Amino acid sequence: MGIKENRRQDRHKIGVHATIITTDATIPVYAVDISVNGLRVESSDPILPETVVAVALALNEETLLSGNVLWAIEKTRRGKPYYEIGIEIHAIILEEMEAIGFPKKAALVKEILSRLA
């Protein structure tokens, strides 16, 4: 079952390694949860809000999400800083399928979740 937290769409825990690609850097991250319109990741590097990003999820298939950073919060775990980053998803590409718009993105998020199960 998804995490609601006063959101428009349910968030689903995914717990997979990923890579964020910006025009300036390639950053390893950990994808914590996903919804049709958003992705939350944890990173050892900060990424500024409004940064345009591509996110490659470490799945057996090519899975790429594009969007922009909405927020970033610095936190501490075991005395070391890390960043929680919220990304607004504009498009999802899974293998040969591309989704832009809510209905198609919802179908691809379900497909991603089924492949993680």
List, in order of start, the domains of the chain with CATH numbers: 12-112 (2.40.10.220)
17-38 mean pLDDT: 97
68-97 mean pLDDT: 95
CA neighbor of 75 nearest in space, from 67, 87, 84: 84
Q: In this predicted structure, which of 11-15, 16-20, 60-64, 105-109 has the lowest mean pLDDT?
A: 60-64
Q: Mean pLDDT across the chain, nearest whole number?
A: 91
How far apart are alpha carbons 70 and 78 in whole angstroms? 26
46-59 mean pLDDT: 96
Confidence of residue 71 (pLDDT cuts 50, 70, 90): very high
